[in-house]
Structure 1
Amino acid sequence: MKKTYYLFNPGRLSRKDNTLKFTPTDANGNEGTPKYIPIEGIADLFCFGSLDANSALYTFLGKQGIAVHFFDYYEHYSGSFMPKEYLLAGKMQIEQTKNYIDNKKRLILARKFVSGASFNMVKNLRYYINRDRDLQDIQDAIERYNSLIESSNEVDELMGVEGNIRQMYYSAFNDIITSDFTMDTRSKRPPQNEINALISFGNMMCYSLCLSQIYHTQLNPTISFLHEPGYRRYSLALDLAEIFKPLLVDRLIFRLLNKKEIQAKDFDHQLNSCVLKESGRKIFVKAWEEKVTETFKHPVLKRSVSYKHLIKLECYKLSKHILGIEEYKPFKSRW
């Protein structure tokens, strides 16, 4: 089975026959012991350190269908090298564009993404309400915002509803997290504290995972419905990530902090910013990989699937809706 590989150290990546050769380098440019990765075992690459590579390597990666996702020191998603879309189909492109241009059709899908995300956020809250956390008022507030989803007649209005839901949801984090960390308000660029640093890092991991799964379908990742398509981003991955962030990112953060698997020493505090150190990133990525490859019995398929495959199934459901085969229903967690 193909695996995702994470490159934390700066270094040089090159081709050697049918393997990738990664030679790490230190701050002084001294080379370490090379590591070899068989090309047939690579699903995609996540790079957290500076990477030295040439066009011939990317041509090789492109032919093998391997994506490379880049993050900067501050844990911001920098961009992705995506191979040529090998599954794109003309009919899907046309129908996906029609669903974006037609405001009524676009709103139908945009509302689905917001309702799915909100449901999964409430599911997280209910888990902790059942464990005697005082979060009922927050859940009630989110439910009131939920009643505005179907009555929103513009995407901008719907985005405002989604923002209010998420703001209320984030206000519960201080009660859910039992460690010494506090969140205060959501801050992104840069994150102001440890919880915000974990949210930003985890959200970018979720976005990249969604992008990788979209690549293996006929969907065009640049044509989205909730988020406005941009010139320099794969905005459909942002739409899908809304549904899965509460399940994959937030639950992982609660576990890592409540079980003290990530501690204060794993963060780097700078002027008005906080980021994960390499030790913290490695802990998070290890737990993330375990989470997304974890399997469960799918309630409809009646067989075991991983969370990574679940995102691809979500893409297939979205494809059927766009082609007029079956109405799209966002994944809503039952546990």
Structure 2
Amino acid sequence: MLCAGKIQGVLSVEENSGPGRESPVQYLPISAVAEILYCPRNFYYRLVEGAEDSNAHLLEGHLQEERRNERERLVREKALQLRSVMVSSERLQLLGVVDVLEERGEPYPVEYKKGMRRENLNDDVQLCAQAMALEEHLGRDLIRGYIYYAGSHARREVYFTEELRALVESTVRRARAILESGAIPPPLADNRCRGCALQSRCLPEEIKYLKGESPGPVRPVPGLNPGRVLYVDQQGACIRRKGQRLLVTMEKETLADIPLCNVDQVVLVGGVNISTPVIKLLLESGTPVSFLSTGGAFRGVLEPSLNRNCILRLAQYGAYFDPVNRLNLAREFVRGKLANMRTMLLRYNRELHDTEIDAAVRRMARYITAAAGAGEPSLLLGLEGMGSREYFRVFGRLIRREMPFMFEGRNRRPPRDPVNAMLGYCYSMLMKDLRSAVALVGFDPYLGFFHEAKYGRPALALDLMEEFRPIVADSVVLTAINKGMISETDFEYRLGGCFLNDTGRKKIYRAYEERRQQQITHPLFGYRLPYRRVFELQARFLGKVLQKELDRYIPFTVR
């Protein structure tokens, strides 16, 4: 087959139809097969898990490709050039796109690379595989091809020797072996990982460090998503589209005009309207939209299609139905929550020297030890409840500023005092972030290991949220009170409960955003990263535990 087009993913082709037909044949992308010689793990993530992660290097390459393809046919220096020629090999069961097919006396493929001229065997294999596919359709042997390096504006000639052709065939066999086994190749954790778009998914240095195979990892490369959130809670406001910009309007007044590229997440509170063109734009750009009530209840999320990583979800379901694995994970979630609660009390009591807090800290230490060895889910649930009650029994003592309201214990649905109103609101925003993190990784957010599966409850997001409740949500509330950011005028009483009003919600948004963007030193790896990145990191570690890359889940605990 020879035609113009692009290749994405794996194409299944039916050999024949009717009763007794053979299984569909998988045609593999040539570029992905060649990637095995550079990084087998990259091949696995791209082909098995359907990873589409991108970074600045890939985006630059795509832009260069678009500029090349503006003209499909070109005569240059007495050579005929055809661009983006799709080829396939029935014998090797490969599909690919030849960047440029030139003919100057004889046909030859040209592969474009964005960097400087270099000798990369995987590039040679990719070019040779394209040539072998072309040979099937042209009915003639191809002797050589070229790799053009945009960074140095130079070509490198590649001869299609018998040795290179044999390497192509052995690489294809290796690719199919990885697909059939389903096993994740080990990480490389060397210079090839620097600048890789899959680094935040793969976590090569972290995996090797946790296995005791390497020193501590370096600071992770920042992602393309800086975590910018657009909060809209002006009741009656509407979000409209203007090209690639989002307009927040109220009747005929424009409240905000924001480029889509500056928005990574949208949160709508209460009666805010959003137009269909905006919804389509956000879905196309992969930008999730969360919905909260004015009282802080999480209503749901609008997000792009379900992550294609069904392999991870199968592992998640398997662990859920294994009582031992399920209890092991639940113990770690509870241990992380209680440990961080205890740390919060210790931090504040360095200045308070409160004997009641001291006593609570000692009792919580016993609950943490007991939780680590709990042999039954019911016992673990009881220990989590006792530890939480102990924590909230003295939580009000952490408030250092005189306020006209008091905290006398946890209450909700509805919250009956300002502190509980803020706690509930922050928990909803935290849960929204953790739900986005588990969905991004590829989990089913509704099937957890500690929280029971109930209709509509994002149990896994709640599981991972436990260790972050005290150090993110509770910390935001205490900071807002103790630093005088919030006052009694920021609340309203209605329907038998206490709720943040418009000005109060805005203050809590700012405080919460400051906390989720705050840099913290990772307790295991020693590098610094914002809390919002830690949410995703913990979700990815959980995935690697479920897929047997790591032995156990380690909760994120602070000192």
Calculate the TM-score normalised by the size of structure 1: 0.92
**Structure 1 range deviating more: 122-131 or 215-224:** 215-224
| 2:355 equivalent to 1:129 | no
Contact 1:2 1:41 in 2 (8 A): no
Q: How does 1:94-109 map to 2 (within 5 A)?
A: 94-109=314-329
For residues 439 and 314 of structure 2, the distance between their equivalents in structure 1, rounded to whole angstroms, comes to: 17
Contact 1:21 1:37 in 2 (8 A): yes
What is the match of residue 148 of structure 2?
none
For residues 522 and 278 of structure 2, the distance between their equivalents in structure 1, rounded to whole angstroms, comes to: 38
What is the match of residue 275 of structure 1?
499
**Structure 1 range deviating more: 215-224 or 43-52:** 215-224
Describe the superposition over 1:155-192 as per-residue Cα deviations: whole angstroms up to 9, x where unpaired.
34322221221111011112111232311121110000
How far 1:52 sits from its partner (Å)? 1.9
- From the CA coordinates, give the structure whose radius of gyration is larger: 2
For residues 242 and 252 of structure 2, the distance between their equivalents in structure 1, rounded to whole angstroms, comes to: 17
Structure 2 residue corresponding to 1:67, chosen from 264, 288, 304: 288
How far 1:257 sits from its partner (Å)? 0.9
What is the match of residue 43 of structure 1?
264
CA spacing shift, 1:2–1:16, aligned 2, 3 Å: farther
Contact 1:133 1:176 in 2 (8 A): no
What is the match of residue 57 of structure 1?
278
Contact 1:187 1:196 in 2 (8 A): yes
For residues 431 and 535 of structure 2, the distance between their equivalents in structure 1, rounded to whole angstroms, comes to: 11
Q: How does 1:183-332 map to 2 (within 5 A)?
A: 183-326=407-550, 327-332=552-557
Provide structure 2 residue ranges, at least 5 long, that are not aligned to the other structure: 1-225
Structure 1 residue corresponding to 2:298, chosen from 74, 77, 85: 77
| 2:253 equivalent to 1:32 | yes
What is the match of residue 18 of structure 1?
244
Paired residues, what number? 328
CA spacing shift, 1:313–1:192, aligned 2, 3 Å: same
**Structure 1 range deviating more: 154-163 or 195-204:** 154-163
How far 1:271 sits from its partner (Å)? 4.7
Structure 2 residue corresponding to 1:145, chosen from 367, 381, 384: 367
For residues 254 and 260 of structure 2, the distance between their equivalents in structure 1, rounded to whole angstroms, comes to: 19
For residues 342 and 375 of structure 2, the distance between their equivalents in structure 1, rounded to whole angstroms, comes to: 24
For residues 262 and 240 of structure 1, the distance between their equivalents in structure 2, rounded to whole angstroms, comes to: 28
Contact 1:2 1:40 in 2 (8 A): no
| 2:310 equivalent to 1:90 | yes
SS in 2 for 1:172: helix
For residues 312 and 73 of structure 1, the distance between their equivalents in structure 2, rounded to whole angstroms, comes to: 27
What is the match of residue 111 of structure 1?
331
Contact 2:348 2:398 in 1 (8 A): yes
Provide structure 1 residue ranges, at least 5 long, that are not aligned to the other structure: 25-29
Describe the superposition over 1:21-75 as per-residue Cα deviations: whole angstroms up to 9, x where unpaired.
2212xxxxx4422522212221111112312234443233222111111111222
Describe the superposition over 1:100-141 as per-residue Cα deviations: whole angstroms up to 9, x where unpaired.
111111000000000000000000011122221231111122
For residues 103 and 306 of structure 1, the distance between their equivalents in structure 2, rounded to whole angstroms, comes to: 34
SS in 2 for 1:261: coil
How far 1:251 sits from its partner (Å)? 1.5
Calculate the TM-score normalised by the size of structure 2: 0.56
What is the match of residue 27 of structure 1?
none
For residues 143 and 300 of structure 1, the distance between their equivalents in structure 2, rounded to whole angstroms, comes to: 21
Residue identity matched to 1:39? L
CA spacing shift, 1:82–1:231, aligned 2, 3 Å: farther
Q: Which has the higher contact order (CA 8 A, sep 6+)?
A: 1
For residues 289 and 378 of structure 2, the distance between their equivalents in structure 1, rounded to whole angstroms, comes to: 32
For residues 223 and 3 of structure 1, the distance between their equivalents in structure 2, rounded to whole angstroms, comes to: 28
SS in 2 for 1:149: helix
Describe the superposition over 1:211-234 as per-residue Cα deviations: whole angstroms up to 9, x where unpaired.
122232132222211111232132
SS in 2 for 1:227: coil
For residues 164 and 272 of structure 1, the distance between their equivalents in structure 2, rounded to whole angstroms, comes to: 28
Aligned-residue CA RMSD in angstroms? 1.8
